[in-house]
Amino acid sequence: MRAILCFGDSNTWGYEASTGNRLGRWQRWPGVLQRELGDDLYVIEEGLGGRTTAFELPGLPYRSGFAALPMLLETHDPLDVVVISLGTNDLWVPGATARDAARGVGSLIDLVRSTVYESGPMPRTIVVVPPPLAALGDEWTEESDGLVRESTGFAAAFREILRERDVPLVDLGELIATSPADGIHFEAADHEVIGRAVAGAVRDVLGDAA
């Protein structure tokens, strides 16, 4: 059976902005992806709130995606596709930019490609580009304008890095917007859109086998 690893943050975990709850398995975008692709492919969810591409966050241990991914690649080997959906939380690292987030994703792609796999060939990689932030809640009043402004650079920065590595992408900025409830997370309807879009990208990279 073919396997797909969805490696992301709280938006992969399924945090819903308007309720503050976790969406159900079949409402979260990896669940939608599973439903779209059917039972012949196994979708693995690995979402963690606060996860970054390659940075540690003050007061939040175990958030570096670069530190976590090697263990997961070995745990779930063999894999056919790794879907990377990270970058938003990088902006909370002091001084970090959208370009830094894109470079972090580039380092994750390179890690996938440099790993030695015991049970199968190197998996293909797809990147989900985060959409720009909307106005943030009261907790982030002082930082809101700067973070929102910087997040508008995600698409251009990610496209440059992914073009260099010939990696397909799903640009969420073209499909959805973050919820006005907190400016960061998504609503259930957005997860439906994301899951279907990622399913299309998976079919493209796997061809007839998907």
Largest pairwise CA distance in the chain: 50
Write down the pTM of the prediction.
Answer: 0.96
Looking at residue 7, what is its pLDDT? 99
Rg (CA), the chain: 16
pLDDT digits (tens, 9 = 90+) for 20-41: 999 999 999 999 999 999 999 9
pLDDT digits (tens, 9 = 90+) for 142-174: 567 789 999 999 999 999 999 999 999 999 999
Any idea what DSSP says for residue 78? S
- Helix/strand/coil for 99: helix
What structural domains and CATH numbers belong to the chain? 2-209 (3.40.50.1110)
- CA 190 to CA 199: how far, in whole Å? 14
Looking at residue 58, what is its pLDDT? 82
125 pLDDT more than 90: yes
Using the structure block, give the residue that is written with the tokens 């709850």.
21
Question: What is the distance, to the nearest Å, from the Cα of residue 29 to the centroid of all Cα atoms in its chain?
Answer: 11
In this prediction, residues 72-101 reach a mean pLDDT of: 97
Check if the beta carbon of residue 109 is closer than 8 Å to that of residue 123: no
- CA 101 to CA 207: how far, in whole Å? 29
- Per-residue tokens: 98: 């959208």
